[in-house]
């Protein structure tokens, strides 16, 4: 059997029609398949590869850590230098109250850990999230996912989970003394890059303060410079009680984290002891990769170019078929009339060597979330392909 047949037969599928591109190499903003075709990647593994595919410093760190040790013991018992160094660096680039890092395997597991921490610390059970919010696909994260289409097939889910409209000031009245935490994306991802107003996010922070509820901000997609600052919440002048990280955290390796103040995080250590545990969370190779990735992101000053690159995308992406361009830094949603139109453009882009995608809760929107390392000529190339695809797919 060829690789495609083996893939379809033995690798569990997540959709009826996977892209099935056989990737043999990736570097920078490019992917290469087994047939010799090159793709310009403008989704970066879904906001994972912020410093590009196979950044040399990340690969070097992986190799060096692999030569030292791999997994040695369940998370949190041994002092592992890569974990300590990365947690320390994250804390040094976060507000003072976000100083204790619990590394997980993924963003969804970070959501699960934060939900447990909030219930344990407050003694409350109610968790509030928002319509069209996405926080992962495990059972707990699915319970607070803000779309019934994706939840319905897996009920019953967690009880006492509420969903409110995002960016609606009047809805915040539902946060009360029974609320353990409120989980919100600083910028909503799968609804097609939806930014809240500063007034709303600050009001959410204030309401949580008043009612003793913990504010959990999900920056699994928004973090690591994606929106033009290292953390999106910096732009709104709010600080969460718990921060969720994932995607770019591992610079291409599997890694997630939830971050809180140490006294708050310590509630997971007793009554019961081992209140939250993971075998592979914070794997030393993933932490070494993430540390190298964050160092490169900062040292090579890619975040400083985000706004200029965003502006170039928006300047070039003018077309009659594109109804709107929503953006938050190098993270954009091109709005088309409907999913059918968007899918035609996506398919045409793929034929032309540009990899893009759509959004779970906004299928009429085309996703742009390239590595922050994307060059200005590569942006011009990407835009030219998208505009050509719009012409061919929609204007013929």
CA distances (Å), origin 337, targets 49, 328, 352? 29, 21, 22
What's the pLDDT at 396? 62
Low-confidence ranges of the chain (pLDDT < 70): 1, 396
Say what percent of the chain tops pLDDT 70.
99
Give the SS3 label for residue 356. coil
Q: Please name the residues in contact with 358: beta carbons below 8 A apart, sequence gap of 6 or more.
A: 339, 342, 343, 346, 364, 365, 366, 367
Strand order in the sheet with 30-33: 23-27, 30-33, 38-41, 354-355
**At the topology level of CATH, where does 56-299 sit?**
3.40.640
Asked if the domains at 3-54+302-394 and 56-299 fall in one CATH topology, the answer is no
Nearest to 41 by CA among 25, 56, 57: 25
**At the topology level of CATH, where does 3-54+302-394 sit?**
3.90.1150
Give the SS3 label for residue 164. strand
Q: Where are the domains of the chain?
A: 3-54+302-394, 56-299
Strand order in the sheet with 214-218: 100-104, 256-260, 242-245, 214-218, 179-185, 126-130, 161-164
Give the SS3 label for residue 366. strand
CA 179 to chain centroid, in Å, comes to 25
What's the pLDDT at 385? 98
Cα–Cα distance for residue pair 269/78, rounded to 1 Å: 15
What's the pLDDT at 189? 97
pTM: 0.97
Q: 272: cis peptide before it, omega within 30°?
A: yes
Cα–Cα distance for residue pair 284/278, rounded to 1 Å: 13
């Amino acid at each position: 059997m060829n690789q495609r047949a083996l893939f379809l037969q033995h690798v569990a599928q997540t959709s009826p029609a996977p892209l099935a591109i056989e990737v043999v190499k990736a570097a920078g903003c490019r992917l290469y398949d087994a047939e010799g075709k090159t793709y310009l990647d403008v989704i970066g593994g879904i906001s994972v590869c912020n410093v590009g595919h196979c950044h040399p410093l990340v690969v070097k760190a992986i190799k060096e850590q692999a030569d030292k040790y791999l997994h040695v013991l369940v998370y949190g018992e041994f002092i592992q230098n890569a974990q300590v160094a990365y947690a320390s660096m994250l804390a040094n680039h976060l507000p003072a109250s976000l100083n204790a890092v619990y590394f997980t395997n993924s963003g969804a597991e970070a959501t699960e850990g934060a939900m447990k921490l909030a219930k344990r610390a407050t003694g409350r059970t109610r968790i509030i999230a928002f319509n069209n919010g996405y926080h992962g696909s495990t059972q707990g994260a699915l319970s607070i996912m803000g779309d019934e289409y994706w939840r319905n097939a897996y009920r019953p889910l967690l009880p006492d989970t509420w969903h409110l409209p995002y960016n609606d000031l009047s809805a915040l009245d539902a946060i009360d003394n029974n609320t353990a935490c409120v989980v919100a994306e600083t910028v909503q991802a799968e609804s097609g890059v939806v930014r809240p107003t500063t007034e709303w996010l600050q009001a959410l922070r204030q309401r949580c303060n008043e009612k003793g509820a913990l504010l959990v901000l999900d920056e699994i997609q928004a973090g690591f410079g994606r929106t033009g600052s290292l953390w999106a919440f910096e732009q709104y002048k709010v600080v969460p009680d718990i921060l969720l990280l994932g995607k770019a955290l591992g610079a291409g390796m599997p890694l997630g984290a939830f971050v809180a103040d140490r006294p708050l995080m310590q509630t997971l250590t007793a009554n019961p002891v081992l209140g939250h545990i993971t075998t592979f969370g914070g794997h030393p190779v993933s932490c070494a990769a993430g540390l190298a990735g964050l160092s490169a992101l900062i040292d090579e000053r890619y975040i400083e170019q985000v706004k200029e690159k965003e502006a170039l995308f928006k300047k070039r992406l003018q077309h009659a078929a594109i109804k709107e361009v929503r953006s938050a830094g190098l993270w954009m949603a091109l709005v088309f009339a409907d999913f059918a139109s968007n899918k035609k453009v996506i398919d045409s882009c793929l034929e032309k060597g540009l990899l893009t995608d759509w959004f779970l809760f906004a299928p009429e929107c085309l996703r742009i979330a390239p590595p922050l390392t994307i060059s200005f000529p590569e942006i011009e190339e990407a835009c030219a392909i998208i505009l050509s695809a719009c012409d061919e797919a929609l204007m013929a």
